[in-house]
Structure 1
Amino acid sequence: MNENMTAQNQICVSPARAPGGAGPRRVLLELDDGYLTPMYIFAPAGEASGPPVVYAHGIQSHPLWFFGSASALAAAGRAVYLVTRRGSGENTVHRGHCRSAAQLLDDVETACKFAMRDSASDRVCLLGVSWGGKLMLAYALNRPDAPISRLILVAPGIYSRHDVSGLAKMRIALALLTRPAAMFDIPLGRPELFTSNEQFQQYLRDDSLSLLRASARFLYASRTIDRMISRARPRSLAMPVLLMLAADDRIIFNRHTESLVGALAGSSCEVITLGGSHTLEFEANARPFFDSLVEMSAK
């Protein structure tokens, strides 16, 4: 099933200041278990200048947060596939839930295969922001034969400053045994954690698509992904890696993140730190972020 989103509609539903264009094409991506999830496809301006970009959003966010950066990449000649994680964003079925970490990695693989088939490419560039960066990193580590041209991590949620309480952890552990779909708060409910821009703080307060709660099974899957990453051997990443950090990040620990990603990527890792808060997309002037993303994705 395909649906088109006009530029006018894009402005209504997304905070992004996208650089013009006709807006993305919306399709429903069928995952391995039959689950249908929206994917926004940004066609390249002119002839494609590199492999398609598969773009993963964060734990609370959804694709509409990132139309600006996706549009900037498309304007520079990259096809962008901005996929909605199962149970998040517009999805209402099994909201905030997944079966396992392996299922989430399989979902990434399905998106990659779709993007390569749709763009007639034999490789793919992975781009993940916040929790989506953690997911993309785990995918790259656990699928070493995947045809990944480059891995771009934007403020990846590997070392979070925020966690559920000890009591909540006990309740989650119990729920895993008795009610794995039981829901728990995601500890990122304050808009100021994401941005200092008041306009976008208000957008976040009003955003009905944000995911504020997740199931015990999903939270366990997230911990499983943490373990996958922490147990990976140094220099496990064979592809070039770009790590982009926000200088004033209030959600992740930059120093720990840079150290780990650097160890996993070795000399193939390039690090850029930009001024701003966790969601660089929401800065009053997001152009430095867009320009850096375009420049580094082209290498």
Structure 2
Amino acid sequence: MGRAALRPWPGSGRSACSARTNDGCSTRTHTMIESTTHRIHTTDGYPIQVTRWKPTVAPHAICIILHGVQSHAGWYHRLGRSLAESGIEAHFPDRRGSGSNHQDRGHCPSSGRLITDVLEICRSVREPHPSLPVILGGISWGGKLVVTSAARQPNLIQGIALICPGLEPRVGVSTSERLRIAAAFFVNRKAHFPIPLADPALFTANPEAQRFIANDPLSLRTASAALLAASTFLDRKARRAPSRVEQPCLLMLAEHDRIVNNDRTRAYLERLKSLDKTIIEYPDAHHTLEFEPDPDRYAQDLVDWINARWASHHQRNQVASD
């Protein structure tokens, strides 16, 4: 039986938003931009698939978005197109063992390896544009990797965006399941356990999107003891990271998020060393903003936040180089 191909969320096919610069001008191109995929081979030989959205004009920033524990790049095509149509080169890697990465499905060696993967991806996508700022974004569980990676290599990552990040979750595995996972970690690290996000209603109130999640062949529904242990170790690293995160930070929160504890996440943001912190909250929204009735709104907010900090700087550099 053949492997499932990347299947994007069907609501992502409509045209993306129109970006605004600080002077009110639109930076959106008029050509419908389509994604391409390529693989980045990590230093331990794992081939990670990356979905890339490339602007039709010279980009003024690079944005790398890390998905959640269950999702994959195919859930976020609208966001990718929105970024690219606004002149921001967007990269959406599927985490090793997730999405279109079928090798060692649902498994990873360690939390340190996941952070190393992120940093290697950042270096790889920046190589053709060494002067451009790199903004690392994390959706849900991906937020853990964003703050730990930004703390590890601050010179590589110029800004971070936390989109309903799973830094302070409401849901988790039971105590008895934790004990079983811990036992398996020492005897069979590739043993699989259910990811505690089985109900699509946790992600969205959109019935069409709930059906999409329930039937998505690339969604990750179980994880190895090693991956679940890595998640716990990432939690610990994330708790120690704030004093080393100095980059500008954008936090997006959904009012009716059933996965993320918003109050504790706001408190986490306040602990970051960064002097440039922005919070945007979405009334009546649920966890996965891509599935909201108006997903262009959060995409536009991300574009505006990036442009306000880096678009004019890039333009000044371009003038100086000319």
Of 141, 146, 150, 2:151 maps to 141
Secondary structure, in 3 states, of the residue corresponding to 1:86? coil
Cα deviation, 1:144-173, whole Å, max 9, x if unaligned, reads 3x3222111100101111111111111011
Q: Which residue of 1 aligns with 2:52?
A: 41
CA contact (8 A) 2:33 2:54 kept: no
Of 74, 83, 91, 1:64 maps to 74
CA contact (8 A) 2:97 2:104 kept: yes
Question: Are 1:269 and 2:265 an aligned pair?
Answer: no
In the superposition, the TM-score normalised over structure 1's length comes to: 0.92
Cα deviation, 1:19-50, whole Å, max 9, x if unaligned, reads 2724111101111111112101111232212x
CA contact (8 A) 1:45 1:76 kept: no
Q: Which residue of 2 aligns with 1:256?
A: 264
CA contact (8 A) 1:150 1:239 kept: yes
Q: How far, CA to CA, are the matches of 1:132 and 1:194 in structure 2?
A: 15
Question: Are 1:19 and 2:29 an aligned pair?
Answer: no
Secondary structure, in 3 states, of the residue corresponding to 2:253? strand
Cα deviation, 1:51-109, whole Å, max 9, x if unaligned, reads 21111111000000011111101100000111110000012110111111110011001
* Percent identical: 34
CA contact (8 A) 2:65 2:90 kept: yes
Secondary structure, in 3 states, of the residue corresponding to 1:195? coil
Secondary structure, in 3 states, of the residue corresponding to 1:187? coil
Alignment size in residue pairs: 287
Q: Which residue of 1 aligns with 2:165?
A: 156
In the TM superposition, structure 1's runs of 4+ consecutive aligned residues that sit over 6 Å from their partners are none
Aligned-residue offset at 1:202: 0.8
Please say which structure displays the higher CA radius of gyration: 2
Aligned-residue offset at 1:18: 4.5
Name the amino acid aligned to 2:121.
A
Cα deviation, 1:273-292, whole Å, max 9, x if unaligned, reads 01310000100111211211
- With over 3 angstroms needed to count, the CA separation of the structure-2 counterparts of 1:209 and 1:233, relative to structure 1, is closer
Q: Which residue of 2 aligns with 1:83?
A: 93
- With over 3 angstroms needed to count, the CA separation of the structure-2 counterparts of 1:149 and 1:231, relative to structure 1, is closer
- With over 3 angstroms needed to count, the CA separation of the structure-2 counterparts of 1:65 and 1:13, relative to structure 1, is closer
Q: How far, CA to CA, are the matches of 2:250 and 2:33 in structure 1?
A: 29
- Stretches of structure 2 lacking an aligned partner (at least 5 in a row): 17-31, 310-322
Question: Are 1:243 and 2:251 an aligned pair?
Answer: yes
Q: How far, CA to CA, are the matches of 1:285 and 1:123 in structure 2?
A: 28
Of 127, 131, 136, 2:137 maps to 127
- Out of 85-94 and 38-47, give the one that drifted further: 38-47
- Stretches of structure 1 lacking an aligned partner (at least 5 in a row): 1-8
Question: Are 1:225 and 2:234 an aligned pair?
Answer: yes
Aligned-residue offset at 1:123: 3.6
- With over 3 angstroms needed to count, the CA separation of the structure-2 counterparts of 1:87 and 1:18, relative to structure 1, is farther
Cα deviation, 1:237-284, whole Å, max 9, x if unaligned, reads 111101111111110101101111221144321111013100001001
